[in-house]
Amino acid sequence: MDDNDNDLGAENSTELRRRRGIGVYSRIFDVPDHDVAAVMSARVGPVFAAEAFAAAGGAAWTHPALTARDRSIAIITALAAQGVSGDRLTTHLRQAGTHGISHDGLTALMTLLATYIGYPRAFSLMEAIERAADSGFHHRDDG
C-alpha cells in the first residue's frame, strides 16, 4: 500500500477494500491473489464473492487492535457457535495453525466453549480438530 492508502478516503475506497479482501481470501484459501476471484466465484458465485471481498477488506480484517491469532480464535468460536463444519471450518483451522494456535490451544478453546455452545457442537468441532491434526494442519504440542 502507498501513502494515499492511509487517508480516510482511500481507506474506504471500493477498490482498496476489494484488494484487501482478495488478500484476506488469498491467505484463507492459500492461493495466489490472482486466483482468488475465480476460486471464490466457483464456490459462491461472482456477486456474493464481490460482496465478500468488500467485507473482508474492511476494518474488521485490518484493525491493529486484533492480531491474526485473535481473529482466528474469534472466527473459530463463531463457526463453532453456528455449528459450521466441513471445508469452511477446516480452512479456518489451518489458518489458526499458521497464526500460532496449536492443537492443545484448539482443544482448550473447544473445552471452554462446550459449556456455552453445547457439548454436541463442541464435540463435532473437536472431531474436526482431530481430523485436521491427523492431516498435519496442527501440531499436537503447544510449541
* Residue 44 vs residues 49, 57, 103: alpha-carbon distances, Å: 6, 17, 30
Cα 29 to chain center, whole Å?
9
Q: Within 13 A of 94's CA, how many CA atoms are on the CB side?
A: 12
Task: Place 9 in a pLDDT band, splitting at 50, 70 and 90.
Answer: low
Place of cell 484459501: 29
Q: What is the pLDDT of residues 30-83, one digit of tens each?
A: 899 999 999 999 999 999 999 999 988 888 777 889 999 999 999 999 999 999
Which residue, chain included where needed, has cell 487517508?
Answer: 7
